[in-house]
Amino acid sequence: MTLAFVGGTHRTVPLALRERLAFSAEQAAEALTRFRERFPGREGVLLSTCNRVEFYAAGGEADGPPPPPDQLVSFLAECRGIDASLLTPVLAGDRDEAVVRHLFSVAAGLDSMVLGEPQIVAQVKQAWSLAQESRTSGPLTGEMFQAALRTAKRVASETAIGRERISIPSVAVADFASGVFERFDDKRVLLIGAGKMAAETLRYLRQAGARDVIIVNRTAGRAGDLAARLGARAGRFENLAAELAAADLVVSTTGATEPVVSSQLFADVELRRGGRPLVVLDLAVPRDFDPRIGQRPGVWLYSVDDLAAACNANRKSRQRELPAAVTIIDEETQRFMGDLHHRSTAPVIERLRAGWSETGEAELDRLFRRLPGLDDAARAEIRQAFDRYAAKLLHPPLASLRSESRAGPPHGLLDALKRLFDLKD
Amino acid sequence: MIEFVSGISVVCFAASYAVALACEASRLLFRSGVRGAAMIAFALAGLVAHTLFLVWRATTEQAVPLSSAFDWYLLAAWLLAGGYLWLTIANPRTPVGLFMLPVVLGLIGAAQISSQAPFPQSPATQIWGAIHGIFNLAASVAVAIGALAGALWLIQADRLARKQPPLRSFRLPSLERLAHTTDRTLTIAAWTAAAGFLSGIVLNAVNRQRGLLETVPWTDPVVLRMAGLVAWLVTAAVAARVASRTADGPRTSARLSLISFVVLTASILWGVLGTTRHGVPPEHPATVHATDHHAVEQEATP
């Protein structure tokens, strides 16, 4: 065993326990330092996000195998001061190839709560960086995490698994508002209500270039607070009609039980708009805008249900990409394991080369003593011929080793080579 | 090299555009990582062949662009193909080719059934003929681009009204951009078509003054269809401008652009299939001006 892993996600660990198990950056650094002291020579990387806590460990022939999963569970429990018996049933462990496959899936977002979400790549990169800073990352975890990031990039570029947006605010802005407006820097955005969803939607609008933002709320104080926080202006709720007439895009998220903008109110507003198109993202439940307003020409009204339906369609679209992503994970896992197994043959290959080289040098010495008349050029030619001959003879066994490594550790072939060529450990 | 260029035929670039169109259409069926590159490669190959063909004709057959109906259609197709390539490179996920390439192929088809005989020209009418042809060409291209923008506007508006998220690898431009393009092209088409018609009148007046024409052929089908087209385009541009003050303005503009394209197509078909003296040398020229006694003045539009 060279690789081990233990971890739990939102699917297996209850929220209350996940909160206790989560590591801050400082806590993770401390845990890695403790790991280095507890398991000297072994490699370790701790990945802790809001939805998962995972520990990856690796070990080589020289320093011994990595701690098995049950020891890693105890280690995590100890680091966070949790009873290990609470963690054992909810944390899963694995070894070798399964560890690689799991990490590649995690990095590609296939194991995320939101399939294909891209933030996990940065989190995996951070976890690896922290391990490097804490000097617990080594050649094995280094290569594994590099391969994981490469795999994530392949999945992102060769499949559309992360392309479709699936959060309501992002779909509202990128798929619908952007379908109506080419640019947002010359548009006026009106936020009705000061809810969390409004702030989240505004974040996406800001990214799209929106600058002129005005917030109105029944409670003027809350509008003022949110406006100050988001760099917007606060308006008066009593001026709602005038603000609607001036707005190009409205995001409404009030908690009102009756529509805030009735069909009649909008009919008055419409006359003052001069035919300009209006996008309304009605994210409130119950709805803030009378649905009949959406039938007016030049008005593009989207309710939470409309946006949720689009999100679901996008989610299904991501699911359809899953088989292609899994194929890439399989390919990359096989390639990584093949390289890993081939690395284990390096000492035998080294000894084989050294043995042949030693024998070759001895024969060359003997030959050059018996042919003292050879000049330097002739000697160099003969030496090169010996080297080429040795390389050609070694090629078939080395190629067989590489080929065998793809299927697993080539123990049988290595033993055979050791016995055939009398290679001592 | 000369042998290669002289071997280029209309079929060469038409086939390239057709393959690019097939690639565009395949967007509707499946995803592909290489389709974009293949599409651009075929369109570019077609455009290069198309350019070489026009250059070859201009250098070897004294057929400067716009000097025959055949060349006029091919030049219009070349402009649209260039526009398609530019738009596709700038917006690779927008399927403009689905709308533009059929028009390009249609114009090439119209060229194939048009006369390749050059319009007779003389120094006296060459400038007015060129002005007339260029304005009419600009109007036709503007109408085609406007129709494309109008069609995309209606499709995008329909999708947004039905709350459908954009399709992968089939992203349409925003309504704002499409409406802007539609309005702008309607205006350009009206102005250039009017200028083309007026320059045609001047051309005929010059012909008459020089004794090359006994009367201006006001009742010729081509003159009538051009007058009708200009009247329609001016009306459409004014209607679009008036409608732009209403919430339904962009939809009205989109529909007017599409109707304009239908009117233009009907007009071209009438020109291609109908009987006309337009662009044909007069059989018995009247008194010929001393300096132009060998020349026969003609307009440079199909």
pLDDT tens readout for residues B258-276? 999 999 888 877 776 666 5
pLDDT at A3: 92
Rounded to an integer, the average pLDDT of B242-259 is 93
- Distance, in Å, from the CA atom of A48 to the CA atom of B54, rounded to the nearest integer, reads 65
- Tally C-beta pairs within 8 A across A and B: 69
pLDDT at B293: 36
Domains and their CATH numbers in chain A? 3-163 (3.30.460.30), 168-306 (3.40.50.720), 345-420 (no CATH)
Flag if B176 and A277 touch (Cβ within 8 Å): yes
Check whether A106 has a pLDDT greater than 90.
yes
Flag if A164 and B33 touch (Cβ within 8 Å): no
Confidence of residue B288 (pLDDT cuts 50, 70, 90): very low
**What are the pLDDT digits (tens) for A160-187?**
887 777 778 888 888 899 999 999 999 9
| Chain A residue with the nearest C-alpha to that of B244 | A275
Residues of A in contact with B161 (CB under 8 A): 300
Average pLDDT across chain A, whole number:
89
pLDDT at B115: 72
A189/chain B closest Cα distance in angstroms? 16
**What are the pLDDT digits (tens) for B68-82?**
778 888 888 999 999
Entry pTM: 0.68
Residues of B in contact with A296 (CB under 8 A): 247
Of B281, B238, B274, the closest CA to residue B256 belongs to B238
- Distance, in Å, from the CA atom of A300 to the CA atom of A293, rounded to the nearest integer, reads 9
Q: Which of B33, B165, B176 lies at the smallest CB-CB distance from A181?
A: B176
pLDDT at B292: 39
- Distance, in Å, from the CA atom of A45 to the CA atom of A145, rounded to the nearest integer, reads 9
Rounded to an integer, the average pLDDT of B175-200 is 93
Q: Which of B166, B168, B249 lies at the smallest CB-CB distance from A179?
A: B166
- A212-216 vs A233-234, strand pairing mode: parallel
Check whether B63 has a pLDDT greater than 60.
no
- Distance, in Å, from the CA atom of B268 to the CA atom of B107, rounded to the nearest integer, reads 9
Beta bridge partners, A282, equal: A252, A303
- Distance, in Å, from the CA atom of A220 to the CA atom of A209, rounded to the nearest integer, reads 26
**What are the pLDDT digits (tens) for A206-264?**
988 999 999 999 888 888 888 888 889 999 999 999 999 999 999 998 888 888 999 99
pLDDT at B103: 87
Q: Which of B31, B165, B251 lies at the smallest CB-CB distance from A297?
A: B251
Q: Which of B33, B245, B250 lies at the smallest CB-CB distance from A274?
A: B245
How big is chain B, counted in residues?
302
B164/chain A closest Cα distance in angstroms? 7
pLDDT at B118: 65
pLDDT at B169: 64
pLDDT at B275: 61
Residues of A assigned a catalytic role: 50
Best probe of the B interface among A244, A300, A321, by most B CBs < 10 A, is A300
B246/chain A closest Cα distance in angstroms? 4
Confidence of residue B97 (pLDDT cuts 50, 70, 90): confident
Of A121, A120, A71, the closest CA to residue A91 belongs to A71
Confidence of residue B212 (pLDDT cuts 50, 70, 90): low
Whether residue A286 is preceded by a cis peptide bond, meaning omega within 30 degrees of 0, is: yes
**What are the pLDDT digits (tens) for A12-61?**
888 888 888 989 889 999 999 999 999 998 999 999 988 899 999 998 76
Q: Does B245 touch chain A (CB under 8 A)?
A: yes
